[in-house]
A and B are shown apart, each in its own frame.
Chain A
Amino acid sequence: MKFGVVVFPGSNCDHDTLFVLKDVLYQKTVYLWHKDRDLQAVDCVVLPGGFAYGDYLRAGAIARFSPLMEAVREFAERGGLVLGICNGFQVLLELGLLPGAMLRNKNLKFLCQFVHLRVDNPETRFTRRCRRGQVLRIPIAHYDGQYFAPAETLNGLEEHGQVVLRYVDENGEPTEEANVNGSAASIAGLINRHGNVLGMMPHPERASEVLLGSEDGRLIFESLIQT
């Protein structure tokens, strides 16, 4: 499988993501420069974490107007696989490929810590290596991660199984305390209706090797790779 990792000015998880895909999981992986329009025939586009365009205006607000993002939108609309991690998730929201928006974390702090996530939909291209209800331990690192959407949007997301990952405690319970950034319905990861675009705030690329304290993030990439 061929992956493309998008590089915006201010992306800072692009190298980590490429490393995991290429050197840990042995997949053909290329960088995609934000000013290009050519997706180089990749099978999956990954929008990495970081602070694209310094998060000026709003996180992801400027990045979404990059020439490459037009190609990514067309790619997604044709059914191409797109994974947005952290800042990449924010870009997908601003682009409108996923519904809702991000607000500053409820405690107004930048949160950099391991969290527990519950897989609420294992029947996606991004989570099929997981079990329903499986609890993953993956780190977050963000300032603007409080997911917000109007009530009717939230109802639609639940109804169609689009909430893929939720912040939970170690027992898999979505407690208020475990919902560290205050996200609506404890949403940590979201998929579009067609099932080809996933956004998640936690960083699976930071949890793909034993050395880094968790390998749970690999399940996301391995789900994509599995044929």
Chain B
Amino acid sequence: MRVRILVSFKESVLDPQGQTVKNALLTLGYRFITDVRQGKVFEIAMEGITEEQARRAIPEIAGRVLANPIIEKFTWEILEEAKKA
């Protein structure tokens, strides 16, 4: 099973790197861009557990290690192609 976890700053936290990327894009002429938030992607391979167990373990892993809940939030998905296999 492969899982993708996205970690990004909470809306209440300033993301200076995202702001810098946004400014660069605006400079290049992409005037339609209103905001950029930068985050981290984790792709985690798992075996020997059921999907149900994974669904319980993933938020725990993300909340305890991958994201710092004081400044970051996360979303996750089980990758489709892996599900079919």
Contact = CB atoms under 8 A, between A and B. Distances in A.
A108 B16 CA distance: 7
B65 A61 contact: yes
Interface string B16-39: 110010000000000000000000
B16 A101 contact: no
A101 B14 contact: no
B61 to A, nearest CB: 12
Categorize the interface residue count of chain A: 10 to 19
**Chain A contact surface mostly:** loop
Contacts of A122: none
Categorize the interface residue count of chain B: 10 to 19
Contact of A108 (B12, B17, B65): B17
B13 A100 contact: no
Contacts of A178: none
Interface string B41-85: 000000000000000000000000110101100000000000000
Interface string A113-142: 000000000000000000000000000000
A148 B71 contact: yes
**Chain B contact surface mostly:** loop
Interface in A150-167: 150
B13 A148 contact: yes
Contacts of A108: 16-17, 20
A101 B70 contact: yes
B20 A103 contact: no
A148 B71 CA distance: 8
Contacts of A94: 68
A108 B12 CA distance: 19
A106 interface: yes
Contacts of A76: none
Contacts of A101: 68, 70-71
A149 interface: yes
B68 A58 contact: yes
Contact of A100 (B12, B65, B70): B70
A65 B65 CA distance: 9
Contacts of A100: 70
Nearest to B14: A103
A103 B14 CA distance: 9
A58 B65 CA distance: 10
Nearest to A60: B68
Nearest to A153: B70
10 contacts: A65-B65, A101-B68, A101-B70, A101-B71, A106-B14, A106-B16, A108-B16, A148-B71, A149-B70, A150-B12
Given A104-B16, A108-B17, 14 more contacts: A57-B65, A57-B66, A58-B68, A65-B65, A100-B70, A101-B68, A101-B70, A103-B13, A103-B71, A106-B14, A108-B16, A148-B71, A149-B70, A150-B12
